[in-house]
Structure 1
Amino acid sequence: MTLPVEEVRLSLPHIELAAHLYGPEDGRPVLAVHGWMDNAMSFARLIPKLRGLRIVAVDLAGHGHSDHRPPGAGYSLWDNVYDLLQVAEQFGWQRFSLLGHSMGAIVATLLAGSLPQRVERLALIDAIIPHTVAPEEAPGELAKALEAQLAFDARRKRVHATFEKAVEARMKARVPVNREAAELLAQRGVMPVPGGYIWRTDSRLTLPSPVRFTLPQALAFVRRLACPVKLIMPSAGMLKKTSGAEALLRSLSIEISELPGGHHLHLEDEAGAQAVADCFNRFFQAT
């Protein structure tokens, strides 16, 4: 199945983002938000299977074809939340839905929990709240982040001899994907440089977060949601591998569907993408 896609540049007041624009102009407005170190191609298999939606699939700052944040700036979750809100403003969307995977699902939840009056529906894949820490761990988390920033050297970006080597590197990354998924992400994420190819993603995205929410703080965003929520939980995904996560999720007022597959089930093969699309089509079309 194919769906016409338009490449757009979004000049926000503070940064320029790139995005793919899909679907009929009168469709339900949806912002699609990819995961950490991915890009808008994360949804290349899923979005053509969704019906009746006007989807803006963004490259988050520092990913894909979007600008990197300026020197001295970081990549906090709430900065991404603000970017998404500005994208909605640019399209004139006072009410919109969110589709998020992994980190993108977390960012979407934070936005929907912060401004519940703006969000109609929340569709999530394998994540909902960020990694949390106990209050007494906060100083150590900040110390670790500060030390990492002092030691950071942007010149260390790895150059791969061939495009294929860059693809293979993504297959073996911290969050691995199969070859088909890596090749799709590489279409938007890899660029030629002298001596080979590099991934466009900003190396600062690998730095540890200086501040993390406590569990009560993170759950406060979920409990403030005022829209229907659909969470896809892959059988071999991250949520299933996180101790205590499933029991916690079952205690929340959200709709959960478990599907076979891994963390990138919507991208790695057509069957996984179709299974996710079937769930989300029913979700978005429900009255």
Structure 2
Amino acid sequence: MAGSSQPPAPEPLAESLSLALPHVTVAAQLHGPRDGVPVVALHGWLDNAASFSRLAAKLPGLRILALDLPGHGLSGHRPPGLGYHLWEYAHDVLMAAEALGWQRFSLLGHSMGAIVSVLLAGSMPERIARVGLIDGVLPQTGAPSRSPERLGQALRRSLRSRERKPLYPSIDDAVRARMGAGYPVSREAAERLTERGLVAIEGGFTWRSDPRLLAPTPMRLSDEHAKAFIAEVRCPVRLILAEQGIYADAAEQMAALPFECCWLPGGHHLHLDDETGADAVAAALLGFFSD
């Protein structure tokens, strides 16, 4: 009927995957044709592989491995005594690619996953073909003079008894909590992330993620460290920035980066919040990984 709007086509089902790496078992979702261009997709802090569930179907011709990084989603947690540092995630990604036999591949990262992508591309340029970044590029840096104080905070926190996870009476309660936690997301985005991030326990539901992800970072890279990694990236990089995202007040700093930048309307999770944002991100990335 004229003037009527058609609902979006259903998304192709993703293939579930579990990779037993030498140091941890990671879960993932595989999208796209088996002979597609290999791309590893990395989500943000406290998110999971569902972060790319709306976007992946809009990027034809790619074989996208959307990982649950260790401590997140359905992946295993690191053993006691080990933490969740950016460079350790880079190692996880490399080992996952090794498990699939991907000697050269591209990266698609959001937020923390984008930062990990830059670290890996700068340190292993021979393995990375292209990098797509969504509202993430630079790690939080710190002055070397603050390092002893920061490490002390982390060590004191580690001596405390393990903190209890939040308990939600219903899935809807968890969804509403996720909508307002950290960087706010739409209800649809929260539902997608929650479906993969929750586990049923006595009395309700709680997050699968490792509580240690909330611990203070014991060490931060300096500004010089961050610039050094960026300078060593040898492949094409396309940086998609959200106009209402985390770099909204850093346009000058973003323009100074040696990467191709594109600003799009939306918040930090613009690729997941709604179809409009996902379509815009997909259009910005269309053809990039297969050029």
TM-score, length of structure 2 as denominator length: 0.94
Q: CA shift at 1:169, angstroms?
A: 1.1
2: CA distance, partners of 1:61 / 1:30? 18
Unaligned runs of 5+ residues in structure 2 are 1-8
1: CA distance, partners of 2:79 / 2:29? 23
Q: CA shift at 1:137, angstroms?
A: 1.4
Q: Is the 8 A contact 1:113 1:225 kept in 2?
A: yes
Name the structure 2 match of 1:262: 267
Question: Which of residues 28, 35, 58 is equivalent to 1:19?
Answer: 28
Give % identity.
Answer: 51
Q: Is the 8 A contact 2:37 2:290 kept in 1?
A: no
Q: Which runs of 4+ in 1 moved over 3 A?
A: none
Are 2:73 and 1:64 equivalent residues in the alignment? yes
Q: Is the 8 A contact 1:157 1:203 kept in 2?
A: yes
Name the structure 2 match of 1:177: 185
Unaligned runs of 5+ residues in structure 1 are none
Secondary structure of the 1:18 match is: strand
Question: Which of residues 87, 91, 94 is equivalent to 2:100?
Answer: 91
Q: CA shift at 1:141, angstroms?
A: 1.3
Amino acid at match of 1:217: H
2: CA distance, partners of 1:162 / 1:24? 36
2: CA distance, partners of 1:248 / 1:134? 18
Q: CA shift at 1:285, angstroms?
A: 3.5
1: CA distance, partners of 2:26 / 2:71? 9
Are 2:257 and 1:252 equivalent residues in the alignment? yes
Q: CA shift at 1:229, angstroms?
A: 0.3
Q: CA shift at 1:4, angstroms?
A: 3.4
1: CA distance, partners of 2:55 / 2:26? 21
Amino acid at match of 1:248: Q
Name the structure 1 match of 2:46: 37
When you count helix as a share of all residues, which structure comes out higher? Answer: 1
Name the structure 2 match of 1:187: 195
Q: Is the 8 A contact 2:43 2:110 kept in 1?
A: yes
Q: Is the 8 A contact 2:110 2:135 kept in 1?
A: yes
Secondary structure of the 2:248 match is: helix
Q: CA shift at 1:282, angstroms?
A: 3.4
Root-mean-square deviation (Å): 1.1
TM-score, length of structure 1 as denominator length: 0.96
Count of aligned pairs:
282
1: CA distance, partners of 2:62 / 2:88? 26
Amino acid at match of 2:102: W
CA deviation vs aligned residue, 1:81-127 (integer Å, no higher than 9, x gap): 10000001011111000000000000111011110111000000111
Amino acid at match of 2:36: G
Amino acid at match of 2:280: A
Name the structure 2 match of 1:130: 139
Amino acid at match of 1:91: L
